[in-house]
Each structure stands twice: as structure tokens, then as C-alpha cells.
Structure 1
Amino acid sequence: MIWIFKFLIFLFYYVFVTVFLVYLYVNNAINFFELNVFSSSASAIKHSYDVIIVGGGTAGLTIAAGLKEKNVLIIEAGADFQSPNAPISSAIGRIIHNIPIATPLLQFQELFDWQYKTQPQQNACKSLTNNVSHWPMGKGIGGTQLINNMIYERGHEDDFRDWFDANTDNYNFTKDILPFYREFEEFLELSDLRSTTKVADAFVRSAPQLLDQNVIEFKLPKVIQNNGKRWSVVDSYHSWLHTSHQHMLSDAKAERILFDGDAGDIKASLKAVGIRYRKLGHLYEVRATKAVILAGGTIGTPTLLLKSGIGPENLYAQNTNKTAKKDTTKTADDPLKLKLQKHLPAVGQHLQDHVTTGLDLITLNQSLGLEPWNLYSARHLWDYFWNGNGPFTMGGCEGLGFVKTNLHESGAPDLGFMLIPMGSTIDAGVYFRRLLNINERTWKEYFQPLIATPTISILPIVLHPKSRGFISVRLTRDDDVDTVIEPRYLSHPYDIDVLVMGLKMIHKMINTPAFQTLGTSLTQRPLPGCSQYRFTSDEYWQCYAQHLTLTAYHPVGTCRMGTSQNDSVVDPSTFQVHGVDQLYICDASIMPSMPSANPQSTVGMLARKFLHSFYAHQSNSGDSSL
């Protein structure tokens, strides 16, 4: 009888997921037509603005809110379903969208997510279909804050030692970095977790029981929430009175940066004067008199630069006739039917990501109450909507750990842990399997037998990976331009060594008294492709990491800051693109290296630092204070 009940709950879950997504799509369609078709303000855009910001995410909106200029345009490719400007059903849509536990349902949905995919990986992702990793990244006003796990964690002070000054002796975290974190935090709603499981307590208590001097801290994270609801920079942006004079253009994709005249000599200095964008199938151009600020993220920003002719010269054909043949087998080294404007070889290079593994690695002998048949109850609904508490406030991660191993020379931690109090099999393959792109063999032989078993994941994270990838572009058959994402996961042995160390520490962790009260053990079934190695041996863990390779969704570095035009894109003192006047970048793409934490907080810190730099370097303003 109990299995019939559970089957009915799973059926309800499947129907709920479908209805949830259909409603959000219908809601957005209504708002789209109101804002873009029926509204007379949809086309009320000026020909020229003081400042144009490309990207309405964390960086873009934080910068916009801090600008003194009122004549500002924000161009965002995604929808405006979170904004008060969206009438009719938007309020109900926001209520549903902002339920934290619904976070996975928002990822890899075309409405909210760019649905990026990597190239097939040679050294990693062997348990994923075609060795391809899915990279969710938010699309819409609010950016990735619309679909992320809401974790807020500052980076370690040693992370930024050489970001802004090559002379590290001059570095002072308290003066150079911390004030800008605090300014950004005034722009946020930060909260403690309002609901945790027994595993979270065991995770924190296990740290001293490991008796490992390399352990820095195990803790519960802060989250960006307001009364248990998802919160994003959109909410604060609209509360700033002066932003009402700014123009926010949603559902408009930037296609090219406009420059002042023909570059001619590719060594000549350029000046960015506007943006060409596409909206409702039509191309438009808009001008900027003071600045064009790119805040499109680690993938969007280099893609726009490359499409605009700023990048490595071997990517472009000076004669468009050379690329008359349309061939989808082109690689990142093939020429484009675009004109080179500025040779900057580092555009798209130095791609880094927090890589992880360990999905469903740990089993329990008791339930945490997060199964669909336990979760969907009147009590939990009441707790969430009335009190802002309960499991519906959970965004996915309820524990963070930081470890300094002997593999890393910096004082910053190099091994991290994320505690996920549920397994990917909790929905019996309805949704999570597709989101993670787990291949057929791995699902059937490894994950499917775990459906009836309570599982959790403690994910080891390489905080400072040495593998480097790239972002590039290539022509399609219809002469459009596709983005190529090649992270080259685990191409450096250091990254594998850190993951193996993390997996071995997890094995030790679950045998501490804190975890043993929950009956924890490793999933004993060997991962397909690794059964030839002795279970829990270093060779097994190396194979395991190379098969079940996962992204922590934190790519950075594709337009890195630095002083040399040969290996960087942005001047760290001004945030200006090398050799291009009035063109600035401020988002995760400019980070020269990975922070030792979720990068969203650092993106906000950079946005506030940019504002100070921007006004300090404006010739018409001697006041750098905001």
C-alpha cells in the first residue's frame, strides 16, 4: 500500500513539474507581449545615451544603481519577468519563481537559462552523455541570480593579492578589497539558512573530529534571501529612486559593439560609441557618449567581443570571400566572416571553473524528509508562505567547507566542500538526470539502483584549478555565430590530485561520530568504467573523478585583468579594454584567477570597485566618492 502511495506522489511530482514550467512560460509570454508588443514604451528608446550597459545581471544592475548619470540604457537579452514593470500575472509568477527549493526546475529551461553546453571533454565527463557538461547560466533581468543556489560567500583575502597591483607588497585586503564587499552587501538581503537537515549539523560537527590541521572551516552558508524567498539585485535596483530614469531594454540581444569609424590599421586605438542589438527580429543601433560597459558574464562578454572583431587575429579573415563556404566542422582556429578591429589574443582565453564530483556518493540508513511524498505537505506549504521557514526555503546547498592542502602554495584554501542534502535520484530520474546530462549506462547501472535509498552528496571542489580552457566562436550554416565552450576539465594533473584528496577526506568524514549517527556509508557500487580498480584506491578515485566530472557553475577568466595586452584584456586600474576607449568590462570574465568561494559576491565587489574607478578617471569629475 505504501508503494502505491509513493507512486501517486511521484506522479503528482511529475505533473507539478510540468504545470510549474508551463505556467511560468505562459506568464512570461503574457508579460513579453505587454512589454514588447502592446506597450507603446517598448520602442521609446533614445538614439543616444551617456552610458550603455550590456547585461542586466548582478554586475550590470549594481553598476547601474551606482551611476550618477541618469541617461543610462541597460540592454538585456533575457526577459523582464522579475521587474515591477511587468504587469498582469507577474506578481504570481515572481512568487512561484522565488521558491528556493524550485531552483533546479529553473535551470536548463530556455526561458531562464542560456542552456550552454561544453565541447566533448577528453579527460573528463566520461559519465555524461557525449562527455558534454551542461552549464546553466541565468538569462533575464537579474542574471544568474535568477537560477542559482543563492549562496553568499566572500573570497579569501589571498585570492586578490595580485589582481590589481603586480607589486604584492602593496596589497592590503582591508583597504583594497573589503570596503567594496561591504558596499555590495548593503545592496543585498543576506540571511542565515531558515531550514536545515540533520546532515548539516553532522557536517559542521565533523570538522574537529577529522583531527586534520589543514581544515580551515566547516560552516552553514549565508544565502541571498528575504524572509525565505529568493532575492536578486533586481529588487534593490528598483528601490533606488534615481534608477527610475534609466531605460531597461529586455529581450534585446547585443550583436555588435559599434566603433568610431573604420579601424583600418588594427594597431590603432579604437573608440566604442554604441551597440547594435536585435529585438523582435529587427536590428537597431544605439549610441553612447561616455561609456559602453560589458557585463554579460564569462561567456556572453567574450562572445560579444569576438563577434565585434576584438580578439586573436588568427580567428578572423580579412577577406570575407575566404569564408564563402559554409562548414559546420570549423574549429576555433578557423577564420570568421568578421573584420578584425583590435588584436587582443587573450579574449576568450584563460577559462577556469570550479570543478567537482561525488554525486550521490553517500548513503544514509534514515530519511531526511526531503522525498516528494514527505516534502509536499500542507504543513510545509504553510511554513513557507506564512512563516518563511521550512524545507521550501532550501536552495540546495546547506554546508560549506574549506581546506588548505599541501598541494597549493598560496595561503588561500584550495579544496572546498559543498553539502547537498539530497541525491539526484530523489525524483527517480524525472528531472535531475536530464539537468546533469548523466548518460544511459551510468544512470542504469549506478544511479537507478539508488532510487529507494536515501543519498546525499558532499562535493569536493577544486578551488584554484590549473586546467585552462577557452571560449571562442564559429560560423553556422546560416551564417550565424555560435559560442564554443572548451573548459578542458582535468587537463592538469593538479586538479585530479585535489579531487582525489577531497574524496578520500569525504570517506574519512562520513566515518566520524557526527556522521555515523546518521548511518552514513559510501555507495558501494563501483562507477561504470572504473570497476577495474580497487574500490576507494587512489586509482579508483582518479577514474571516478574523470568519469563523474561536474561543474560547480562558476566559470571565470575569459577577459582577464592584467597590464599586458598579450595575456590580458582589461586594465585593472580602469576596467577599460586595452586599446579601446570608452569600452569597459565588469563581470566574472575579468577575474584573473578563481576566488575561493562562489564568485557572485566577488562580482558584486568588482562592480562597486568599478564605480569608484570609473569616476576617479573621468576628466569631468574630480570627485571619486559615490
Structure 2
Amino acid sequence: LGMRNNSCYWPRGKVLGGSSTINLMLYKRGNAKDYDAWADFGNTGWNFENVLPYFKKSEDMRAPEVWEIEDSHKYHARGGYLQVESWGDDEFNGVIDIFRKGVEELGYPFNPDCNGKNQTGFTKLHGTLRDHRRCSSLKAFLSSVKDRENLKVAKHSLVTKVLIDKSSMMAQGVEFKNKEGKTLQVRAKKEVILSAGAINSPQLLMLSGIGPKQHLTDLNLPVIQDLPVGENLQDHMVMLGLAITLNHSAYSVKPLPMAQSMFDFLIKGSSSLATIGTFPYTTFIDTVKGKDHPDIQLYQSHFNKKESEAIKAVFTMLNFKDEIINEFIKINELSYTIFLMVSLLRPFSRGRVLLKSSDPENHPRLISGYLSDQRDIDTFVLSHGFISQLVQTKAFKSMDAKLHEISLPSCKDHDYKSPGFRECFLRHMVTTNCHPSGSCKMGPSWDPKAVVDPTLRVLGVRGLRVVDASVMPNIPSGNINAPVIMIAEKTSDLIKDAWL
């Protein structure tokens, strides 16, 4: 409700490399228990022990501090195509130290590698970087094979449907429009593989006649296979609206002039241009302590006093309404400001992807389902309690820290401490962490919500697989770029097992 047109902005990477070309480059695999749960749902071969070798297969871990950790070789590898590096040091180290100490006071130790044995605690994430520059899946995997004779990439093209023979229920190829707008067909000798992401893969399946029978019938589309395509849509919701101010002159960062930053980046490979600020510094919190299966992730974004233009640019990009952006700016008028972002790692709420029409050039209808499950609201409320305790720690009190919550006139009729106010606040201030997934759920044939089986073959259709974030039964507890690459690595072996 706090967004323009009451809708969230869901960006996607319509480019070679997909969303790895536009994401935040944070390398996070999730929690071992996430993948054990996938296997418990009936997906044989997808527990953590099974998938860890595929995380390692793609990885080229270049962060020296990781190799100083005992048993790091169990979780990391060198020599893969996806280079992973440390983020450069930046000007925020003093404030980050306060966060680390405050979190430790609350019983969460510093975790030097949240992709290792444990996930909980304060940590600094690594990045999908090659020499301090983005290492997208395009750069990591495609660039080195782009000249192969058996690889043809049709750029500026739009696939409109999968060609399926109804008598044999066999996928035979795809139909697409090329950059001149001409409709062409490509025939497959063995399989068709969809990797269009959690929004476009379900759209393409439904346009091809694979999806919920009634929905396809309503749009006058043929029904080839009745499956719950588009259901089970998940995302990591993020709550904004909380801020911490520090009244201490030591925490007013003076950025280098752009020319100096550019010189340092080009010559030394390190400067503010080689970082993403404080985003790699994050805290994984388990609101039910002792499980090492966090359900909350805490990010921060830091601003000097009276940086109104920068704040306006950031929150305009997130599609917030002007009156809410002005509330963020008001808080920043006071002093150095830390805006908090609370990410819900294991949401219970589910959304849907639906077609607006039978026109493949029409964007699908996205129903996020945010906060449709009360348990998600309850977890966000618990996270607010953690932040309140954090500001009361010795580390934060030493900086005269104060917690602020933006004012929302729409919620003024609720008592501030009431459940009604907290829910009203959330419904205005929750947005996306840009991790859509789950809309073509992987599961055994007896799972009524499953679209693909544990080999990622579409149920009831031969010669057709889906290989992307849409197949995740449950979203992992962290950024999803690394898990998607793991899924692709594992499926490449499944395909070879089927045909070689």
C-alpha cells in the first residue's frame, strides 16, 4: 500500500545472463535444512548432501579468509567457472563494527562463512565477482563456449509457445519471433528445456496449453495438460520503514571525488566503485533460537546527514510513494542514518502467476500473496523486537543510537502498540527482495501442487524440462542466484544420465 499504484516493482533480467546480470551479486547458498526439506517433500536426490557437490562444482572461491577456516574444503572449491571473491573494504567499517558488537551482545556470534557449516549470526557475504567486477552467469559459463559450433543463440527473440504433439504428449520444439518479427519454429531432437525464470517459464507453459484447466479455458487456450502451473509463487519479502540514527561526528563519511574513485578502481581494483556499500554485511537471525535455520535476514543502508537526493533516488527506484519517501528524508535530517531492511527468509505466504491474455507479448498477471499467511506477519513482528533490543545494546548506546519508525497517516487510527498497527505498517512497507521462485514446483507425481518431477521433467509431457528458480519447492534461506546455478549444474548431469 506504500507503493505507487499500490504495486511492487519486480525487475527481471531480459538479457543474456538473466537476472544475474542485474542482481546485487551476493553469493549465498541458503541453509542445509532448506535442501533436506526439498528431499523430505519427495524429491529424491535433492538433500543438502546431494546438492553440495554441485555448489562446489561451479565455484571458484578466491576469498583468502575462507581457506583459513577449518574444514572449508568440505564446503568450497577452486577451479569452477563462477568466480567468488571478497568485497573490498569500504568507508563504513566503523559503523559495521558497532553492528557486529551489538549482534554479539544479543547472542549471535560473528560467522566468518555463512556458506559453511553454520548460517546464523553476523557475517559478510561474498560476491560473484571476477577481479572486482560482476561475474554473471553469462560471463562465467557462456563466454568461454560462445564460439562452439553446436551452440546458437537467437538474440532479440521471443519464444511464444512450446510445440507439443497431443497424440504422443511429446515436446517437439518451440515457436518464436525473431528480431524482425517473423515467426519461426525450431525442432528438438531430444528435449526442450525452459529456463525463462519464475515468471516467464509458467507463462510460456500456460501459453503452450500446460496449466490450470479452468484458467486456460477462460482464455480460449487449448488444454494439453492440467497442472498447477503458476501456483506456489514465493519471494523473500522485505520490510522497510525502520531507521537508526547515530549522533556521533565520527560517523560522517566523506566520499572521495569521483575522479579519485575511478582512478583507484581502474589502477588498484578497489574503491567505493568496487563495493555495494554495507549490503554484504548482514545478520541471519533465528527467531526460534537454537535451530541454526534463520527465518530473518537484516540488511542496512547508510546515509550521511541530509543526503536527501540520494535517499529520494533509492526509494523512488523501489517505487515508494512520495509521501513515504519524504518521511525517510525527515529522519535523515537529524543525523547519520542507517535504514534497515528486514528480509523474511522462509515465507509461508504464496502467490500466483496468471495470464492476462493469450498474447505472449502481454506481461502476465502477478499476484504476490504477500502477508497472506499470518505466520509471516508474526515473524516480522518478532524481527521488530530484535531490532529494538539491538538498539539498546552497549555498542549502540555508546553512539547515542535511536530507533525511528516512519510515520504513516494511513495507520494513525490504530494504537501504536496494537497488532492492528503492526499489520497496517507491514502492508504499507513490505516489498520485494527480487527473488521470485516456486511457480513450477518440483515434486513427486502424488504431490497435487507439483509441475515437474525430481528430474525437472514436466509431469505428463515427454521431452520437456524446466530448469530455473520456478522449480524450487520452497525458497532457500538467502539470495537465490547461487541455488539457481546449482540447479542447472545438477540438471546437466540428469540430462547426461538420460542420453549418454
TM bucket by the smaller chain? Answer: 0.7 to 0.9
Residues 442 and 528, structure 1, Cα contact 8 Å, conserved in 2: no
Matched letter for residue 472 of structure 2: M
Residues 8 and 432, structure 2, Cα contact 8 Å, conserved in 1: yes
Return closer, same or farther for 1:208/1:432 CA change in 2, 3 Å cut-off: closer
Residues 556 and 590, structure 1, Cα contact 8 Å, conserved in 2: yes
DSSP-derived class of the 1:523 partner: strand
- 1:231 aligned partner: 135
Q: CA deviation at 1:532?
A: 4.1
DSSP-derived class of the 2:33 partner: helix
Residues 274 and 285, structure 1, Cα contact 8 Å, conserved in 2: yes
- 1:57 aligned partner: none
DSSP-derived class of the 1:503 partner: helix
- 1:514 aligned partner: 395
Q: TM-score, normalised by structure 2?
A: 0.85
Question: In the TM superposition, what are the counterparts of 1:66-81 in structure 2 within 5 Å?
Answer: none
DSSP-derived class of the 1:208 partner: helix
> Structure 2: 5+ residue runs without aligned partners?
60-79, 110-117
- 1:277 aligned partner: 176
- 2:70 aligned partner: none
Question: Structure 2 CA distance, aligned partners of 1:143 and 1:479?
Answer: 19
CA offsets, 1:264-292, max 9 Å, x none? xxxx6511111111122221111111111
Return closer, same or farther for 1:341/1:526 CA change in 2, 3 Å cut-off: same
Question: In the TM superposition, what are the counterparts of 1:293-442 in structure 2 within 5 Å?
Answer: 293-317=193-217, 335-344=218-227, 346-359=228-241, 361-365=243-247, 366=249, 374=255, 376-396=257-277, 397-406=279-288, 412-422=293-303, 426-428=308-310, 431-442=313-324
- 1:177 aligned partner: 51
DSSP-derived class of the 1:211 partner: coil
Residues 38 and 47, structure 2, Cα contact 8 Å, conserved in 1: no
- 2:63 aligned partner: none
Return closer, same or farther for 1:209/1:538 CA change in 2, 3 Å cut-off: farther
Matched letter for residue 570 of structure 1: V
Return closer, same or farther for 1:275/1:525 CA change in 2, 3 Å cut-off: closer
Question: Structure 2 CA distance, aligned partners of 1:432 and 1:170?
Answer: 42
Match of 1:258 among 143, 153, 163: 163
Match of 1:160 among 16, 35, 57: 35
Q: CA deviation at 1:336?
A: 1.0
CA offsets, 1:113-156, max 9 Å, x none? xxxxxxxxxxxxx2112320111111101111111110001111
- 2:77 aligned partner: none
Return closer, same or farther for 1:242/1:225 CA change in 2, 3 Å cut-off: closer
Q: TM-score, normalised by structure 1?
A: 0.68
Q: Tell me, yes or no, if structure 1 residue 461 matches structure 2 residue 353.
A: no
Question: Structure 2 CA distance, aligned partners of 1:528 and 1:407?
Answer: 35
Matched letter for residue 370 of structure 2: Y
Match of 1:199 among 95, 105, 109: 95
**Number of residue pairs matched?**
463
CA offsets, 1:315-350, max 9 Å, x none? 123xxxxxxxxxxxxxxxxx1132112111x10000
DSSP-derived class of the 1:581 partner: coil
Q: CA deviation at 1:527?
A: 3.0
Q: CA deviation at 1:594?
A: 1.2
Q: Tell me, yes or no, if structure 1 residue 190 matches structure 2 residue 90.
A: no
- 1:30 aligned partner: none
> Structure 1: 5+ residue runs without aligned partners?
1-125, 318-334, 622-626
Q: CA deviation at 1:534?
A: 5.3
CA RMSD of aligned residues (A): 2.9
- 1:107 aligned partner: none
CA offsets, 1:65-91, max 9 Å, x none? xxxxxxxxxxxxxxxxxxxxxxxxxxx
% identical equivalent positions:
29
- 2:123 aligned partner: 219
Question: Structure 2 CA distance, aligned partners of 1:368 and 1:188?
Answer: 36
DSSP-derived class of the 1:249 partner: coil
CA offsets, 1:545-601, max 9 Å, x none? 2211111111110001001363111111x2111111110111100000010111111
- 1:503 aligned partner: 384
